[in-house]
Copies of this chain bind each other. A is one copy, B any other.
Amino acid sequence: MNRKAERGAATRDRVLAIATRLFAEHGYEGTSIETVLHESGLSRGALYHHYAGKDALFEAVLEAVETEVGRRIADTVRDAVSPEQALRLGVLAWIRLAGDEVVRRIVLVDAPSVLGWEKWREVEARHAFGMLRGALRATGAVRDDHLGMYAHMLLAAINEVALLVARTGETDRAERVVDDLLGRLLAAPPSR
C-alpha cells in the first residue's frame, strides 16, 4: 500500500484546500459541491468516495484549520515565562489569527450551525478550548470546579473580540481591553 494510498491522500488534500477556500469565501450554504468539483477537476463519484457528504467535507476542513491554528498558538506560547504570560500571549495570538477570514468564517461563524453546537464544541475541546483551559488552570486564578465553564466563557469572549477586530480593525483597543479583562480575572479571586 503505497502508490495508491499516496494518490488518495493527495486528492483528499487537494479537495480540502479548495473546499477551505470556497467555504471561507462564500460560506457553507453558498458553496456548492458542483463548484468544488469544477475547481478540483474531480468527478462527483470520486469526491463522494473520499468524503461521505458536504457536512463531512466541512468537518474535515474545520479539523484541518483548527489543527493549524493550534500549532501556531502553541509556537507562540512555547517560551512564556509564567502561566499568566502564556495565557496573555495565547489569547492575543488567537485574536491575531482570527484576523484570517478562513478562521473566522469556518471556525467561528459556520461551524456551530453546520455541525451542530455539540459537535463543534467537541472539536474545539481538542484544540483551542483545550489549550485555553490548560493555561487558565495553570494560573490558579479560578476554582477547579468552575474551571471548565470559566474557560468556555473566556474563549467565547475572546472569539467575539476577534470577530469585532476583523470588522472594525481596532486591534490596539482590543489588546487593551483583553489585558484589562485578564487583569481583573487574575486578580485576587473573590471566590465568594
The interface size of chain A toward B, counting residues with CB under 8 Å, comes to 48
Contact A177 to B146, CB < 8 A, known contacts A157-B153, A183-B190, A192-B183? yes
A145 touches B160 (CB 8 A): no
Tell me if A46 is interfacial: C-beta within 8 Å of chain B. no
- Select which of B152, B181, B187 is within 8 A of A160 by beta carbon: B152
Tell me if A118 is interfacial: C-beta within 8 Å of chain B. yes
Contact A173 to B145, CB < 8 A, known contacts A163-B117, A180-B191, A187-B187? yes
B149 touches A156 (CB 8 A): no
By beta carbon, the residue of chain B nearest A154 is: B157
Tell me if A176 is interfacial: C-beta within 8 Å of chain B. yes
Chain B residues within 8 Å of A153, by CB: 157-158, 160-161, 177, 181
A167, B112: Cα distance in complex, Å:
14
A2, B19: Cα distance in complex, Å:
52
